[in-house]
Amino acid sequence: MRYKDKRGYLYEVRPGIGENQWKVFYWKPRKDGDLSVGWHGSRSFHWWPTQTQAEGELMSVVMARGWKEVEADPPASPAVQEVIADGSSY
């Protein structure tokens, strides 16, 4: 599940490097609307040995702050949208 806060940041649980490491990551959109910056581990959340535990921590924040669930894939950047619209390739 992916959630969006009031600032437009996206949050979801992702695996870490190695086994049994799960954490909430965030995606901060750039001011120009480009979403190609990437995901970053949130320092506000803990590392957990199971995905379920990490999702539980995220859900407690989602409920407390009223974040909204969003589609799993963020929209493409304006440059990628232009290429898609033109039917051209990179």
Q: How many domains does the chain have?
A: 1
What is the extent of the structural domain holding 29?
2-86
Q: Encode pLDDT of 8-63 as tens digits.
A: 899 999 999 888 999 999 988 877 766 667 889 999 999 999 999 999 999 999 99
Separation CA 20–CA 44 (nearest Å): 19
Confidence band for 89, pLDDT divided at 50, 70 and 90: very low
Nearby residues of 90 by Cβ (< 8 Å), 6 or more positions away? 83
10, two tokens: 């996206």
Q: Torsion angle, CA of 75/79/85/90, rounded to 10 degrees?
A: -120
